[in-house]
Structure 1
Amino acid sequence: MPNSDDGSTLYFNAAVDLIDHNIQAGRGGKTAVIDSRGSHTYQDLSDNVNRFANALKDMGIEPEQRIVLCLNDTIDLPVAFLGAIKAGVIPVPINTRLTEKDYKYIINDSRATALFVSDDLFSLFEGHVNDHQSLKAIVISGKKGNVENNLSALLEAESTEFSAAQTRHDDMCFWLYTSGTTGMPKGTVHLHGNLRATADLYAKQTLGVREDDIMFSAAKLFFAYGLGNGLTFPFSIGATVILLEGPPTPDAVCQILRDHSPTVFYGVPTLFGMLLASNVLPKAGEHHLRVCTSAGEALPADLLSRWQRHVGVDILDGIGSTEMLHIFISNRPGDVRPGATGKAVEGYDIRLTGDDGQVVSQGEMGALEISGPSSGLMYWNQRTKSLDTFQGPWTRAGDKYRQDEEGYYIYCGRTDDMLKVGGIYVSPFEVEGAMIEHDDVLEVAVIGKADADDLIKPKAVIVLKDASIDQNKMREDLQEYAKSKLAAYKYPRWIDFVDELPKTATGKIQRYKLRD
């Protein structure tokens, strides 16, 4: 938005940046979104974004007030998200897999003035919507709801013309709540300029997305990872995105790979493993993929190798965070290092610090800190935690890494998951990476457990590919296998077998639940 009020203030609205430029470039008739309801062009998207912005104004929702979006992945979510931004209102897309207690907390914490919710999720709000003094309106996406509070009916009544709010690059734009793996979720405040930064630096320069790409993200739009994959990146270049309304099961994902021919697929390690374990994953020559990406947890080298052999394309592993909005360290096309997260994305600076706060030497393990243009501003209403995470230009990730002699960053584990065995740090991820190579292991998580002398040693919790295997014999076999792969003090002293590991909705293993 290159206009200014006094010749010195440059306005910038993220929704204008992502949508209006596609109309101006003549892409109005091109398919922007494919969802369970059909195909939607960029003109359809633009018109409904403007309708949504007008609806908020008519509802009395003011700029900088918050609205909560608890919506499944259909066209309604990008319409609501971008429509709010265009109106200067702050959208707060939230996880659709939380509990009633979580939802009540988020509405209270954000002081939301309106709730937009998919009809199949509304039952989790019914019991407390009248308890929120700030909540002015509830709008239903889907078939339920009357004319007054049904989203489709609301949009039909509005104009397709809207003059965007005169926001600026550093104005508050949207919030994302963290997944809450260790407590109640925290609202991360992001700015209007942050979306473009991730598109320019990661999507275009690192991943190499193109206008002719068809993109599909298994990670949902309410996650920072999914928001970039399924909204920011395709709209930034006029590409097409496929949205999956339901859960990303192997059958659902593979049907999309076959029926819609995506060229870019964004996944997580757990899903890649599930797809390889299924019998429906297309092989090389049976799909149109040119690149896949992974985030959420570090990608084991063995999983990458098996994917390359079966599918015939690389997975570009990377690390991002809600606080940094998207990926800031990544492998690149043509430069994939198995077992490594890659190198810093251009535009981001990385440092690793020791317990004393000083930068560690190359090769040594340290706490990961990032400086870059997509960093969040703070956690809403969380002063102490904000100061711990957002330290001047640096953002603390909560992960331990080391950098090898060639400049690649190697994941060692979450800071609070690290084990100290005999006075030496042990990375749970290193132990997991060794054990996942065993032919009978489907998934593994390593935690610390105190022995008879109250000293911490590694313990493995494992999901077997075949649950009928003799577990006593398998326990001995796996311990010997680990000893052959690792330094002696790193092998798991105890092994438990489970049917499944506890995970967040992003696919991250919740090790604290295993410790409990």
Structure 2
Amino acid sequence: MNSLLNCFVPVSEFKSYEDFKENFTINVPDKFNFAYDVVDVYAAQQPHKKALVWCDDNGNEAVFDFKDLQYYSNKTANMFVKYGIKKGDNVMLIMKSRFEFWFCLLALHRIGAVAVPATHMLTKKDIVYRVEHADIKAIVCAMDDYVLGEVDAAYKECDSILKQRMVLGTDREGWINFNTELEAASESFKRPVGEEATNNSDISIIYFSSGTTGLPKMVQHDFAYPLAHIITAKYWQNVANEGLHYTVADSGWAKCIWGKIYGQWIAGSAVFVYDYEKFSANKMLENTVKYNVTTFCAPPTIYRFLIREDLSKYEFSNLKYCVVAGEPLNPEVYEQFLELTGLKLMEGFGQTETVVSVATYPWMEPKPGSMGKPSPMYDIELLNAQGNACEVGEEGEICIDTSFSNPPGIFAGYRSEPERTADVWHDGYYHTGDMAWKDEDGYFWFVGRADDIIKTSGYRVGPFEVESALIEHPAVLECAITGVPEPVRGQVIKATIVLTKNYKASDELKKELQDHVKKVTAPYKYPRIVEFVPELPKTISGKIRRVEIRDKDKEE
């Protein structure tokens, strides 16, 4: 076994979830740095081991082994240093799904600088906010006229902070041509020592949270963070040594890091990157089969589109394992995917602030709609409004006990916002803001964000249960359940619905959907208001922004 795999125990050596939960540990070496201690070790021991498989919709493809990644990330590090990037500097990466993202991320780790991944959908206002609040010294962009224009506009307002702009593969006034500089840079980069070396507690990456409510937070993670994704990759996604893992996510949000680098490479699996401009379920399926993807991870929205394709056309013999996260999985989607592929979807839960913290692990039989059970090294309690542990079946907030120690992978606080950090991390617990209940077998069931819970006529209604009921109806492609203020009941339940292509909005369909919910779940949970829309408001990471629907309703 490769020496890198010695920092965790293979799945096969645990006899049960209970054995896993009790006995799993992660060995965290001092001054761990993923670029040197994982990528460079592979480059020395197995230089031609496949690491990254990339393709796009224009027929372009590229395959990189670990020796390639060492070579290109060394050159990228030298390029960054040439333009003034040093240990502790923050560099924003707006790179969509370009393979150069991996060069940059590793290069920043080598220097001890901080990577700040960002989506290509940011506006000038978003970019200015991020530059000013995160003290961004440089931005690297993929070639995209919209993105480049927004960065140029933002630069005029924050050029005293933002010193360098780099763009992939083109010459542009005021910008550094990334590819030209990369080609000219040296391929040798020595690991810093002394004060320039990284420590485990140094910040390595900052995510701007997707912001389902309020302005996005700056979530900080340290240099030990990649090791915690062993739990994510090996034990939840069940990636295989010499396999190929595909997580559907572009480089701008945390799910990319969950599924396209750290834990997968430590466990010996290559990662697959499909760089598409517009989502197509058909093309995604074709590439999954063409490149022999062995493990797959996507949010529920993606699976809802996949099951509407003719899956009998695709040969899935290489696909062995599928997981789902991002939002709760509707049981109807689980059942249809199982029927069409024979694969059970294994759900997981985590946040930008953590690695996977509740999941359905390989030793467990999935319960459709349940997140699973707590991860090892994560002591999780459901706490009620009084701060007491909940009984079986009682709803409470998912909280992580940090009274004795911080579990691996938990964030290092919100940058420059101690008050905001203290709001969610106090009395020995990190408060996730997500509500759930636990059944008699110890499985957790998601209810909703604390802000999303609807209080109507004395009842508390979580949006997920009603959304799951609606999704069972063939007319419903996507939906969001929210509460609308009402003087008698406090709130009434509203359904905002995107219809499938064979259905049209009508009063008759509205009543049919309301009656359907009354039959599937408790009658008082049916939506008294139904609105049909072409699409739902979502965050940059694809999560439904119920807050936007609520705000719109309040204005009206």
Report 1:8-87 matches (<5 A). 10-28=30-48, 30-36=50-56, 37-87=61-111
- Partner residue, 1:373: 408
> Which of 435, 447, 451 is residue 412 of structure 1 equivalent to?
447
> Which of 137, 157, 164 is residue 191 of structure 2 equivalent to?
164
- Partner residue, 2:375: 345
> Which of 472, 491, 499 is residue 464 of structure 1 equivalent to?
499
In 2, Cα distance between equivalents of 1:393 and 1:232: 28
In 2, Cα distance between equivalents of 1:266 and 1:464: 25
Seen in structure 2, the aligned counterparts of structure 1 residues 303 and 29 have a Cα distance that, compared at 3 Å, is: closer
Tell me the TM-score normalized by structure 2: 0.87
- Partner residue, 2:166: 139
In 1, Cα distance between equivalents of 2:240 and 2:284: 22
In 2, Cα distance between equivalents of 1:286 and 1:26: 29
Shift of residue 509, structure 1, vs aligned partner: 1.0
Instruction: Determine if contact 1:74/1:244 at 8 Å carries over to the other structure.
Output: no
> Which of 431, 434, 437 is residue 399 of structure 1 equivalent to?
434
- Aligned residues with identical type, % of pairs: 28
Q: Deviations over 1:3-35 (max 9, x none)?
A: xxxxxx932212223311211321335353324
In 2, Cα distance between equivalents of 1:282 and 1:98: 38
- Is 1:239 the counterpart of 2:269 in the alignment? yes
Seen in structure 2, the aligned counterparts of structure 1 residues 340 and 158 have a Cα distance that, compared at 3 Å, is: same
Q: What letter matches 1:502 in structure 2?
A: P
Shift of residue 335, structure 1, vs aligned partner: 2.0
- Partner residue, 1:385: 420
- Is 1:332 the counterpart of 2:390 in the alignment? no
Shift of residue 393, structure 1, vs aligned partner: 5.3
In 1, Cα distance between equivalents of 2:333 and 2:315: 20
> Which of 505, 508, 513 is residue 540 of structure 2 equivalent to?
505
Instruction: Determine if contact 2:464/2:481 at 8 Å carries over to the other structure.
Output: yes
Seen in structure 2, the aligned counterparts of structure 1 residues 470 and 376 have a Cα distance that, compared at 3 Å, is: closer
Q: What letter matches 1:210 in structure 2?
A: A
In 1, Cα distance between equivalents of 2:169 and 2:436: 45
In 2, Cα distance between equivalents of 1:218 and 1:290: 16
- Is 1:91 the counterpart of 2:126 in the alignment? no
- Is 1:117 the counterpart of 2:141 in the alignment? yes
Q: What letter matches 1:151 in structure 2?
A: F
Seen in structure 2, the aligned counterparts of structure 1 residues 94 and 469 have a Cα distance that, compared at 3 Å, is: closer
In 1, Cα distance between equivalents of 2:39 and 2:429: 31
Higher mean displacement: 410-419 or 486-495:
486-495
- Is 1:180 the counterpart of 2:211 in the alignment? yes
- Partner residue, 1:272: 303
Seen in structure 2, the aligned counterparts of structure 1 residues 169 and 263 have a Cα distance that, compared at 3 Å, is: same
- Is 1:202 the counterpart of 2:232 in the alignment? yes
Shift of residue 85, structure 1, vs aligned partner: 1.0
Higher mean displacement: 45-54 or 285-294:
285-294
In 2, Cα distance between equivalents of 1:412 and 1:15: 39
- Is 1:218 the counterpart of 2:248 in the alignment? yes
In 2, Cα distance between equivalents of 1:387 and 1:450: 30
In 1, Cα distance between equivalents of 2:279 and 2:291: 15
- Partner residue, 1:105: 129
> Which of 285, 290, 304 is residue 254 of structure 1 equivalent to?
285
Shift of residue 162, structure 1, vs aligned partner: 1.4
Instruction: Determine if contact 1:319/1:328 at 8 Å carries over to the other structure.
Output: yes
In 1, Cα distance between equivalents of 2:458 and 2:315: 50
In 1, Cα distance between equivalents of 2:487 and 2:422: 39
Seen in structure 2, the aligned counterparts of structure 1 residues 284 and 365 have a Cα distance that, compared at 3 Å, is: farther
Where does the alignment leave 5 or more consecutive residues of structure 1 unmatched? Answer: 3-8
- Partner residue, 1:306: 336
Q: What letter matches 1:51 in structure 2?
A: K
Q: What letter matches 1:157 in structure 2?
A: A
Instruction: Determine if contact 2:539/2:545 at 8 Å carries over to the other structure.
Output: yes
In 2, Cα distance between equivalents of 1:116 and 1:466: 39
CA RMSD after TM alignment:
2.2
Instruction: Determine if contact 2:50/2:63 at 8 Å carries over to the other structure.
Output: no
- Give SS of 1:342's match: strand
Seen in structure 2, the aligned counterparts of structure 1 residues 484 and 342 have a Cα distance that, compared at 3 Å, is: same
- Partner residue, 2:181: 154
Report 1:423-462 matches (<5 A). 423-451=458-486, 453=488, 455-462=490-497
Shift of residue 221, structure 1, vs aligned partner: 2.6
Seen in structure 2, the aligned counterparts of structure 1 residues 393 and 207 have a Cα distance that, compared at 3 Å, is: farther
Q: What letter matches 2:301 in structure 1?
A: T
Instruction: Determine if contact 2:475/2:503 at 8 Å carries over to the other structure.
Output: no
- Give SS of 2:42's match: helix
- Partner residue, 1:6: none
Instruction: Determine if contact 1:178/1:186 at 8 Å carries over to the other structure.
Output: yes
Shift of residue 284, structure 1, vs aligned partner: 6.9
In 2, Cα distance between equivalents of 1:322 and 1:416: 18
Where does the alignment leave 5 or more consecutive residues of structure 2 unmatched? Answer: 5-28, 402-406
Report 1:284-299 matches (<5 A). 285-299=315-329
In 2, Cα distance between equivalents of 1:342 and 1:179: 24
Instruction: Determine if contact 1:32/1:235 at 8 Å carries over to the other structure.
Output: no
- Give SS of 2:492's match: strand
Instruction: Determine if contact 2:42/2:49 at 8 Å carries over to the other structure.
Output: no
Number of residue-to-residue matches in the alignment: 507
Instruction: Determine if contact 1:283/1:311 at 8 Å carries over to the other structure.
Output: no
Q: What letter matches 1:75 in structure 2?
A: F
Instruction: Determine if contact 2:232/2:258 at 8 Å carries over to the other structure.
Output: no
> Which of 307, 322, 347 is residue 352 of structure 2 equivalent to?
322
In 1, Cα distance between equivalents of 2:526 and 2:263: 42
Higher mean displacement: 264-273 or 495-504:
495-504
- Give SS of 1:205's match: helix
Shift of residue 185, structure 1, vs aligned partner: 1.5
> Which of 357, 360, 363 is residue 390 of structure 2 equivalent to?
360
Shift of residue 250, structure 1, vs aligned partner: 1.2
Shift of residue 117, structure 1, vs aligned partner: 0.9
